Each structure stands twice: as structure tokens, then as C-alpha cells.
A and B are shown apart, each in its own frame.
Chain A
Amino acid sequence: MVKSVKTQMYAIFQRSSPYIVFMILLTFVLINYFHNLSQYKGCYIFEIVNPLRLSILEATNEDYNIMLIQYLPFMLVLPAGFSFVRDIETREIVYISMRVSKIKYYIGKFIAVFLSTFIVFVLPLFIEMLLNNIAFTMEARGNPFNISEISSNYMNMVDKYFLSDLYITHPYLYYCLFVCVFGAVAGTFAVFTLSLSMFIKSSMKAFLFLPAYLFTCGLNIITENLHTDVSTNYYYYLRFFDSANKNGIAYACIIGSVFLLSLIIVCIKSKTCKVI
């Protein structure tokens, strides 16, 4: 299985699309980084915001993250979502499944797509964390709202964060966890696209943008139409330190179900599909 995953990840990273997505994300990150550098140039420590809260996905950093998250349904398909279709196109499916078994090819493809997308989406955010921690002192305790950390307003806001206790005790661990969640959501939608590309034969590659887009749109429409207090818009769930009303557990269940559904489809396909 490891051999299958390695071969397929190697094939994915031989293409230009993962690097293009990585560069787009890194560009967003660097623009935000240089903007922060110019904003806090010459400031005292007590005026500087905590480096973790200077992230592009920080909830108050709306100028950049709104655009990034709008692009997300399309970007998360690009690194590896077309991988199965390309394997059919180049007949690589025959080559790999002859070397490892057919089942190992399909399961390996699932893991490889998830991991590749995860790496592409997570790496720029860790680079950003590193850059921010080098450029801005870790002792800075400020927040974007410019209010005291012990004020009731701030505490109420922090209480609304998903896993707020973890944020209070271990902010860096909290940040790393959310970066991984961001990568995992991207990976889940990539494998969802992959599984549908195995299941539904389409004559055009571009149709594979539809499943992830429709799914995320569907979640957004629910909030708009039902006028619920709890937001279902994925934008509010993927941002860090967001205090909007949301149900993190329900969202995790939805993403988990998508992941499981994709896995089931791939497993079924691995047993029923004829390679040649």
C-alpha cells in the first residue's frame, strides 16, 4: 500500500497544478505578511497583535481571506482532484494497478489525493506562521480589536471560538490544529471529487469542479434561506478565531460524512471496476 501511495503522490507532484495552487496560496500569504510588516513597522510591543492573529485566515483579516475562501471550492480540486481522470487519460491506471493490486491502486489513490491536497493547503499556512513568528515578537499579546484580554467583551468573544479552552491554554496548538482542519477539509473535498470522477463518467474534465462547488454552495444557501442564527456558510468555519454563531460539531459531522461517503464509493469501485 505504501508503494502505491508513494507512486501516486509522486505522479501527482510531477504535474504543475499542485505547485500552481501552492504558489497562489503562498502569494496570498506573502501579500498579507508584507501588509502586516508595513502596518506594524516601528510599533511598540504592546501595540503589536499576537503573531498567530496576523494569519491570512484570521477572522478579522477579511480583505484577503474573503477572496481566498471564495476561490477555495475551485482551488481544492486542482492539486489532485483530476488525478484519476489523468490516470485514465495517460493509461497510468493500468501501469500502477499491474504493479500493486487493483484494490491497492484505488485505496492508494484515495490516500495520495487526500495527502497531496492536505500538504498543498497546509504548508503555506505553516510558512506564514514561521514568518510571522520571526518578524513579530512572540511576546506580543495584542488582538485585532484593541481591547483588553481580560475584558468581558473579549472573553465572550473567545468563548464562541470552537475549542476555546484549547485556545486559552495552548494557542499555538490551537492554531496548528485549525491549520490541519483547513487542510483536512480541502483534502476531503478533493477525495469527494475523486470518488465522483470514478463513479460518474463525464466527457469533460471541467465538470469535476461542480461537486465541491455545489456542496459548499448548498451549505451557504441554507443560512440565507432559513434565516437561522447558526451560520452554515463554510466561510465562517474555515477562518481562525471566528466568533460567529456556528455549530462546529454539526459541521465536523457533515465533513466526516463526505469523507466516509467518498471512501465507500472508492471501496465499491475498487472491487467492481475492471482496469483494462
Chain B
Amino acid sequence: MYILLCLIIAFIWSGIKIFNFSGVEEDIYLSDLVLKLAFDNADFFVGAVLDMAIDLIPVFLFQMVFGMYIYRHFCVTGIYFFIRCDNRKSWFLKETFKLLGFSHLYQTAILIFSMIILIFISDFKIDMCGIVLVLYYVIIYSMWLFVTCLIINCIALKLGSVFAYVSVIGVQILFLGMFNIYEKYVSMDGSQLLINDIWLKLNPLSGLVFKWHSSLFENVNNKINIFHIIYDFNETVAILCVLAIFFVVLGMELVKRQDIIDENREIGGI
């Protein structure tokens, strides 16, 4: 059921996103597609922030569906499930791998469906630059989904699903709103940029905006690095990997200590 849900959301979102390409008569390259899917309108003014809020829709939808992927075991028939589970830590690790698989599947499905639709409606071409970007797109976006879903699951275990969602989605919206403030208080152009790019890197949501990144590959760098700063994709990947490991370890501890004979945590559970 989860796989089907992943594919349905991915298909609908690809259709919505690719609708923008309809009517374009020029050749569309794979790199253009990836940039389109990775916050192509990102900037520091209200209109751009609103566009970025729309680009966050598939992220929020995935988080709403998979934010309870592990936590749900503690709500519905929790006691029956865990008295048969000898090692909860290894069970949690297995579940996190499944969650990682789903997030990869989701991002890959968005990309593949978009490519299929583009092949039918325009002259779609694959370029080398696009292949590198695809690799980073799948890794960075799926790791972001994985980490955020893991955080939601961990918070939900202690404080319930509603609080978990509100806090994680709330923090992401706060990061989004910060981009609008950057325009006024942090100069992002000209000579000030070298000093202020630290503000850009401090906002985790910048990691999802590909055109602000830099790359070791020159042709990729020329395509994306609009601010001409050093903000390598590998930095973002490394940070997300560290966060993922941290929350997996934290989750294992939480699951181990979680009381399964708890009151009804959600509707109709035990």
C-alpha cells in the first residue's frame, strides 16, 4: 500500500510540475528537468518564497504519509507486536532501511514519471550534466525526506503525532520564511556575498536548492552556481548523512526505552 501511495503522489506531482514545460518548443535536457524539480524559482523575495512553498508540497506530503511509518507500530496493536519482537533495536534498524528505500523510490519515481511525460510532450535529451545532477537529486532529496521522517517518528514516540508534525513542518516553514528576511537584512549580491554566504549555508533548506550549489564538475558548476560561491553538493550530502546516522542511533535508543503498555496514543489504538 505504501509503495502504491508513493507512486500515486509521485505521478500526480510530476504531472503538475511538468505541466509548466508544455508548449516549450526548444530541446529540454535532463539537467533542465532536475533543476526544475529542485526549487528552480528559489530567490529572496516574497513571490519566490511562495513558489518555494509550492515546491515543498511533495516533501510535506511524503512526511505526512511516512512520518508515522515506524511510530504506527506503537499505536495500533503495539503490545501484541512488541511482545513477539526480541530485539527492538534491530527491528528499528530494519524499519529505517525500509523508510530509506521508500524515500529513494519516491524521488526516483518523481524523476522517472517526469521524464516519461517529457518524452511524450517535447524533445527530451539526456546530457552528462543532467546525469550528475540526477545522482545528487535522488541522494539529497531522499536523504532529506528520510531524516525529516525519522525526526517526526522519534518526536511522535514521545509527544504524539500531532506535535511531531507541527514541530517538524513548522521548522521547515521557518527556514523557508528566513529566505524572505535574507533579502532585507543580508545582502546576497556583489562583494557582500562572500561574507554572507554563511547565512545561506546555515539554512538547511538551502541544501535543496540546486542552483545555489557548486560542483567539482565544471560544466555542472557553470549550469548551477548562480552566486559563484563554494557550496559543494558533497557538503550537503555529508551533513545529511551525519544527521541520518545521529537520528537512527537516537531512534534506536528511544524505541528500546519506549513503554509499550501505554495509554491510547492515537485513535482506536492500544
Where the two chains meet, the residues of A that have a C-beta atom closer than 8 Å to any C-beta of B are 62-63, 66-67, 70-71, 74, 78, 82, 85, 88-89, 201-207, 209-210, 213, 217, 220-221, 224-225, 233, 235
Contacts and interface: CB of A to CB of B under 8 A. Distances in A.
B166 interface: yes
Contacts of B54: 217, 220-221, 224
B177 A67 contact: yes
Nearest to B156: A206
A205 B267 contact: yes
A220 B50 contact: yes
19 contacts: A66-B49, A67-B174, A70-B177, A74-B165, A78-B162, A85-B267, A88-B267, A89-B264, A89-B267, A203-B269, A204-B68, A204-B267, A206-B164, A209-B64, A209-B165, A220-B53, A224-B51, A225-B19, A233-B50
A232 to B, nearest CB: 12
Contacts of B51: 224
B161 A225 contact: no
Given A204-B68, A206-B68, A206-B161, 18 more contacts: A62-B180, A63-B180, A66-B46, A67-B180, A74-B165, A74-B170, A85-B267, A204-B72, A205-B267, A206-B67, A206-B164, A207-B64, A209-B165, A217-B54, A217-B57, A221-B57, A224-B20, A224-B54
Majority secondary structure of chain A interface residues (helix, strand, loop or mixed): helix
Given A66-B49, A82-B162, A213-B60, A204 B266 contact: yes
Contact of A71 (B68, B75, B170, B181): B170
B188 interface: no
A16 to B, nearest CB: 11
B103 to A, nearest CB: 18
B268 interface: yes
Given A206-B164, A210-B64, A70 B20 contact: no
A32 to B, nearest CB: 13
Contact of B161 (A63, A78, A204, A213): A204
B249 to A, nearest CB: 25
B266 A62 contact: no
Nearest to B161: A206
B183 to A, nearest CB: 9
Interface in B250-268: 264, 266-268
A75 to B, nearest CB: 9
B139 interface: no
B134 interface: no
A201 B266 CA distance: 12
A243 to B, nearest CB: 14
A202 B268 CA distance: 9
Interface in B51-84: 51, 53-54, 57, 60, 64, 67-68, 72, 75-76
Contacts of B243: none
Contacts of A74: 165-166, 169-170
Given A89-B264, A221-B16, A225-B20, A204 B75 contact: yes
